[in-house]
Amino acid sequence: FRELIVDEAYTDKVRKILFCSGKIYYDLLERKERDKINDVIIARVEQLYPVPQDKMIELAKKHPDAQVWWVQEESENMGAWYFIHARFNDKLHIRGIARKNSASPATGFKKVHLEEQEVILRRAFE
């Protein structure tokens, strides 16, 4: 079992590290491969508690110029974002990419869901 699975970039100059958990990893990986993006690392967190904090910080320190992001499919007020942000706030400057806050876990409309998913993926790699 590996707490953190890292899909390394294909260059020494990494501009972003995307931490995520769950299904969004596969969407990110598909976009990365489709667009031939080689300066972004995707790191899948396989265990949220206890969070592999030391491994995540170690990865970020290997690439000090890279922006560090947490990407999730859920709304910002759901999912793991607040949990992750609270644990790294003073140790690592990590920003979040998620759907806007919502009282519901899903939009209820496939078209809206796909549009929101596209915004998340675009923001992750821009």
Q: Are 59 and 82 in contact (CB under 8 A)?
A: no
Overall pTM > 0.85: yes
Q: Where are the alpha helices (DSSP H) in the chain?
A: 24-34, 53-62, 81-88, 110-125
d(C-alpha 20, C-alpha 80), whole Å: 9
Maximum Cα–Cα distance across the chain: 42
How many angstroms separate the first and last alpha carbons of the chain? 32
pLDDT value for 74: 93
Report which of 29, 80, 6 is spatially closest to residue 50, judged by C-alpha positions.
80
pLDDT at 107 over 80: no
| pLDDT tens track for 54-87 | 999 999 999 999 999 999 999 999 999 999 999 9
